[in-house]
A and B are shown apart, each in its own frame.
Chain A
Amino acid sequence: MNTIQHQNPNAGNAATPETSQIPERFFDTRPITALLAWVKSVFDYLGGSREEAPAGMPFLASPLWLGIWWGLMIGLILLFCGQTSKFIYIDF
């Protein structure tokens, strides 16, 4: 969360009282965008499309976590593989 607050441009504006910023911050999408970007980086790492573990979650790079994650994926695959069908884009 520190990262997210850090990226908020309003956070460094000490001259403006916090209360007067409420409407502006309410309409400002940048904190939400930063949060969503972090969530995306977590999912991207879990999905294998991002190489470095996301900020604040170094444990995701550990072999233990990798084993748990692969186990989860294999469990899902085994659970649902009976109903599989052809990939849609093979016919294109």
Chain B
Amino acid sequence: MIFNTFTYFILFLVPSAILFRLVRPAAQPWVCITFGASFFVFFSLTQVGGAFGAACLLIFIWESIFSRFYKQGSVLCIVGIVQTIIFLIIFKYWNFLTGLAFGSPQHNPFFWAGAFLPLGISFFTFEFIHYAVDSYRGTTPPGKFREYMAFILFFPTMVAGPIKRYQTFLPSLREPSLEWSSDWRIGMTRLLVGLAKKFAIADLMTAFTNHLNHADIAKAQRWVLPLWVLAYGIKIYFDFSAYSDIAIGSARLFGMKVPENFDWPYARTNIAEFWKHWHISLYRWLLDYVFIPLGGSRCKPPRVLVNLLITMFLSGLWHGAGLNFIAWGLWHGLLLAVHRTWSKWRGAHPQPPSVFGTLAAWAITFVTVNLGWAFFCMDLPTAAFFLKRLFCG
């Protein structure tokens, strides 16, 4: 829950946002740290992982302290990246990876029955890696310890982003906006719209998406199947964009701006444009820390396609420890590869696209993206069964 609870607003957001504006500038990062740590412990204890989950705060504090020793070209940056990935693998992929090697939990001697995911670990990982890589490259200011801790423990973006960059967060922290009136007007609008999107649209779709299971798919008439997956497409967009709205609106109450995450992705007319406007902070992270280091689009054409597939494979794997998420990532990698090949083959068009061409491009993008959600919301055998029923009856 978290963002759609009274606790979030009454215990954390409103008091911290007001206090942040009232204290002197040197104390402002400490407001972020204190409330961020309390937020992590409170919601871990009540919703995710219990006492063990709350204790994981120590891991993130350790990683933060370790990050302070990073210097340009230092091997410590690489050690930091490795330890961050190891923590993610232990908590997120342990049962998945050992399951691949040993099979079902009954036959898996390394199965972790009490496995849990510490609050926001996937997003912490992105921000730690970003800071380590940029420190190695010498492209990020070190800042003070309290500023870095405020960056890591800034609770509006802690759990599910948007994924921040230290270079843009630091100036915002040092000189937050002093326009109380406009910040609270815009921030509150964003919060209310986010909550309304979540409650009135995303949650309403659950009535349809609940049917995306093997038993219901087997019984359903064929024409209803695309509607169910379309409902999931609507649900995930409004759910995650609502979450991002609340995070961005919350940050705005502090007088701080964090990156946007969505910009009408379903209105886009090709898959590359879709990804530039869907989960934007993830797209940019993948671009800067995976795709470009792999060689980006400056390699030979076949290598570029491989780079796309690797990037989207990792994107899928990051979304969840399951073969269905890998399939979802590869599906998008394939779509991007096809789009890139098609664009290169067709070349630049002197004329703007026609209405029919634009509508056809939009329809193809919309349908392929929504088909991909089948892999995202169901395990692989169920998704395969769904697609078989959808296309073959």
Contact = CB atoms under 8 A, between A and B. Distances in A.
Interface string A37-74: 00010000011110100000000000000100110011
B264 interface: yes
Contacts of A27: 354-356
Given A87-B198, A91-B117, A73 B193 contact: yes
A91 B240 CA distance: 12
A91 B190 CA distance: 23
Interface residues of B, number: 48
A88 B236 contact: yes
A29 B359 CA distance: 10
Interface in B192-206: 192-193, 195-196, 198-200, 203-204, 206
Contacts, number: 107
Contact of A66 (B185, B195, B239): B185
A85 B206 contact: yes
Interface in B330-344: none
B352 interface: yes
B199 A70 contact: no
Contact of A32 (B198, B267, B355): B355
A28 B240 contact: no
A79 interface: yes
Interface string B145-167: 00000000000000111000000
Contacts of A81: 4, 199
B273 to A, nearest CB: 13
B36 interface: no
A84 B161 CA distance: 21
A90 B204 contact: no
A76 B203 CA distance: 12
Interface size class of A (residues with CB under 8 A): 20 to 34
Nearest to B207: A83
Contacts of B193: 46-48, 73
A85 to B, nearest CB: 6
Nearest to A32: B355
A88 B357 CA distance: 34
B27 interface: no
A56 to B, nearest CB: 20
Interface string B210-242: 000000000000000000000000011001101
Given A80-B204, A81-B199, A89 B189 contact: no
Nearest to B2: A90
Contact of A77 (B195, B319, B354, B356): B195
Nearest to B182: A51
Nearest to B279: A89
A81 B236 CA distance: 18
Contacts of A73: 192-193, 195-196
Contacts of A83: 199, 203-204, 206
B29 interface: no
A86 B220 CA distance: 26
Contact of A76 (B1, B188, B200): B200
Nearest to B318: A92
Contacts of A76: 196, 199-200
Contacts of B356: 27
Contacts of B187: 48
B87 to A, nearest CB: 15
Contact of B199 (A36, A66, A80, A89): A80
Given A47-B193, A70-B188, A73-B192, A87 B204 contact: no
26 contacts: A29-B355, A32-B355, A40-B264, A40-B267, A46-B193, A47-B190, A47-B193, A48-B186, A49-B190, A49-B260, A51-B186, A66-B189, A70-B189, A76-B196, A77-B192, A77-B200, A79-B199, A80-B200, A81-B4, A84-B4, A87-B1, A87-B2, A87-B3, A89-B240, A92-B160, A92-B318
Given A47-B193, A48-B249, A90-B48, 13 more contacts: A49-B248, A70-B189, A76-B200, A80-B199, A80-B204, A81-B4, A84-B203, A87-B2, A87-B3, A87-B160, A88-B235, A89-B161, A92-B122
Closest 9 CB pairs of A and B: A48-B190, A48-B189, A73-B192, A80-B199, A89-B160, A27-B354, A76-B196, A80-B200, A76-B200
